[in-house]
Chains A and B, each alone.
Chain A
């Protein structure tokens, strides 16, 4: 099995930061807000590996920093410290040492992101097909006919009606918007996909179909995924391994069935007990 991503000691602090930030925050301190300088320690010392075709769950309540992890890796927000290495075939990319243009290149060609809020992942003022075209155009595909065929194939794959390819996504249902987002994320067949609370706020039946789709894609394309969610059901259905976060720290990591059936940390035990 090939490693796709190696994350080491990732941290993100919002605010000026001070020498007491780390010791004064975290699960033991029961806060992520530094009482000395008012900085928010969103994440600190987050490390994990991700392998080809693997789905890793990042779970925790809101404020745990789980979304910050994927936002840093997708270059939405620069981290305050740590490193991440992306293994792409024979080349390795030290993500946070790359210049902005190289980062954007990786983001457009080799990564995909599906946000909880379709507004962030889609341009609502251009058609569903246009949204996918944008990603293909970023990767220098310049043939209109080919782009259109590709967009249609992707939308068909994610079960969006082809009659709606030229409609604006703002007129779509929430579930359909997520499908367009997934199609867009997959446009360049990225080996690494980030999913940030993708089913949150959707009807249960819609959620289920989206989760099915994600699993099919993982099996078909061997896409490695990092799935951020507070929903233990999503963790159970999608992921093989999971990390549990609280106040910016990883408090537990393990095989998903082990975390759900034999959680080690008091917080995870409470989280699992309250959900099942």
Chain B
């Protein structure tokens, strides 16, 4: 059987806001598995902490509790919650991709370079990296006249395609997707779904949050439903 590439057990995240002396619960007691070539979808009401799970795995958030066991390309298992910063940076570079809700990129960088960035980081020669970016962007039907300008001025749909292309280009082993199709028109959404299926077939493991239940039904091999975290009082008791 296909062993999980990622196994999250009892993940929790809450924010301690010192200034206001407040504890803000975000995710609570989340457990899930993700396997190569499969997609695990996170569902749940707003405020259930779906994004917080993705950010915790990517270590944009420091998890408050739980284990996140990741098996890397060499077969070594490590807990992402405890991994060193350089280990995380290396995994981000080589194995784990994240398509966030909004595109963050350097200002003034041409779209082609934004998309090719992960390949630059892996040492792929620039012309080749740009060629692969161009192939991907045309597959996503982003007009060629946009390739040489910065995505800063793009529409939401265009920008999201750039974001996805950058997440896909290096074919990560584990890809985290946060509402990748939310701002896309039906036609482009369909194209993105096709790309996700292609990545799955290529063996990428994915953990995704989708806006539309329909997309989840079409793509997910596993569905994990998150419940909103308990109230602060309960949480405080638990922590104590």
Contact = CB atoms under 8 A, between A and B. Distances in A.
Interface in A256-273: 257-258, 261-262, 264-266, 269-270, 273
Interface in A236-261: 237, 240-241, 253-255, 257-258, 261
A254 B85 contact: yes
A101 interface: no
A254 B62 contact: yes
B60 interface: yes
Interface in B46-86: 55, 59-62, 85-86
Interface residues of A, number: 26
Contact of B108 (A54, A212, A266): A212
B107 interface: yes
Interface string B107-150: 11100000000001100000000000000000000000000000
Contacts of A276: none
Interface stretch (B15-23, B30-38, B166-174, B224-232): B15-23
B60 A262 contact: yes
Contacts, number: 52
A208 interface: yes
Interface of B: 15-19, 55, 59-62, 85-86, 88-90, 106-109, 120-121
A200 interface: no
Given A49-B86, A255-B89, A269-B19, A215 B62 contact: no
A261 B16 CA distance: 13
Contact of A255 (B16, B17, B18, B85): B85
Contacts of A255: 59-60, 85, 88-89
A211 B86 CA distance: 23
Contact of A219 (B18, B89, B120): B120
Nearest to A270: B19
B125 to A, nearest CB: 12
A171 to B, nearest CB: 27
A261 B60 contact: yes
Contacts of B61: 258, 261-262
Contact of B59 (A54, A209, A258, A270): A258
Contacts of A273: 19
